[in-house]
Amino acid sequence: MCELLGMSANVPTDICFSFTGLVKRGGDTGPHRDGWGITFYEGKGCRSFKDPQPSCESEIAELVKAYPIKSKAVISHIRQANRGGVSLENTHPFTRELWGRNWTYAHNGQLSDYQGLPTGDLLPIGETDSEKAFCWILAQLKLHFQCKPSDLTCVFELLARCGDTLREKGVFNMLLSDGEYVMAYCSNNLHWLTRKAPFGKARLIDEDMVVDFQQETTPDDVVTVIATRPLTEGEPWVKLNPGDFVVFKHGDIVFERLLPPAVTQASGD
């Protein structure tokens, strides 16, 4: 299956270190050779880089690794195709407008019986189950809310229920962001890690690379990284349980729906 990478930070931060580890899994240390993409937010705007080539061989990926784009919210994905051919239109992340903001989404997993999901006027461009599910999620938000609520708790609760519905159709690990919040839904495999003072060193699992974050940060920095599998060794990665839904803003958790252990065991994939 695919792998996900996301970041939420309280100051503009580059994701070169984590992205370097992810890129290696795109056809070198992992089988995800069917494309990759990454979206960086800058205020209400965003810039995306996508390539249907393996990330480990992509010159565009080398550019992103070498150019430290700083952002407070990032969504990235490497693909192992199962629904839809290997092409640019089927390459994650996908982006759509809602409530005057760019929403970016990436999915790891495979769904069945998804073709009938109603998407209203939001039509998929490619052929993937992932993009179809994204259009359905945004259609649900438009159906339940005429405009963006002042209190987003109800939005987060609806998104968690949408994740539950899609998890019933298969494996559904998701990262979703509007540039302010980074949202993570776990079906079977998703981890997160928050780095804050006192900072230490970290070593990538997939590449011989070490960073001393004390030299790269200030004492006030808070940076959370979300990944399908831990990207570093020796750091306290937190594994989400099936059905967990967590929302980060500026690196901190602002909403979480964690299922009780009994429900988690009964619903595990």
Q: Is 2 a residue of the active site?
A: yes
For CA atoms 191, 195, 198, 204, the dihedral sign is positive
Instruction: Let me know: does 173 contact 228? Beta carbons within 8 Å.
Output: yes
- Residue 230 sits at φ, ψ, to 5 deg, of -50, 140
Q: Point out the residues that are catalytic.
A: 2
